[in-house]
C-alpha cells in the first residue's frame, strides 16, 4: 500500500525529515521525505496499512522542535515506483 502526505507548520529546519525517516524505518516502511519550496514537508510511504496509519499519527505530532499546523493526505498515482529504503530527498 502507498500513501502520501504534505505537512504544514514549522516543519523545516527542525529535524522533521530525520524524524520521519527514523519513524518510517522503525515501522519497516519504504519511500521518501522531502522539503517543499513553500515550507511544507512531503512524505511518501509504502508498506502495511497499519504501519502507514502509525506514520500518519507520527506526522501529526512531529519532533520536539516542530509545530505541525496540519497534515493533508495527497492522491497517489497507481503507477508509483517501488522503493527499497526510506530516503531523505
Q: Is 17 a catalytic residue?
A: yes
d(C-alpha 11, C-alpha 61), whole Å: 11
Q: Which of 6, 10, 22, 35 is catalytic?
A: 35
Q: Are 17 and 9 in contact (CB under 8 A)?
A: no
Q: Are 60 and 9 in contact (CB under 8 A)?
A: no
Q: Which of 3, 17, 34, 57 is catalytic?
A: 17
Q: Is 40 a catalytic residue?
A: no
Active site residues: 17, 35
Amino acid at each position: 500500500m502507498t500513501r502520501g502526505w504534505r505537512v504544514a507548520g514549522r516543519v523545516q529546519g527542525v529535524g522533521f525529515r530525520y524524524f520521519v525517516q527514523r519513524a518510517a524505518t522503525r515501522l519497516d516502511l519504504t519511500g521518501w521525505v522531502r522539503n517543499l519550496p513553500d515550507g511544507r514537508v512531503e512524505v511518501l510511504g509504502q508498506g502495511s496499512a497499519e504501519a502507514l496509519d502509525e506514520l500518519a499519527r507520527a506526522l501529526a505530532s512531529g519532533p520536539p522542535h516542530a509545530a505541525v499546523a496540519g497534515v493533508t493526505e495527497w492522491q497517489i498515482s497507481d503507477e508509483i515506483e517501488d522503493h527499497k529504503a526510506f530516503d531523505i530527498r
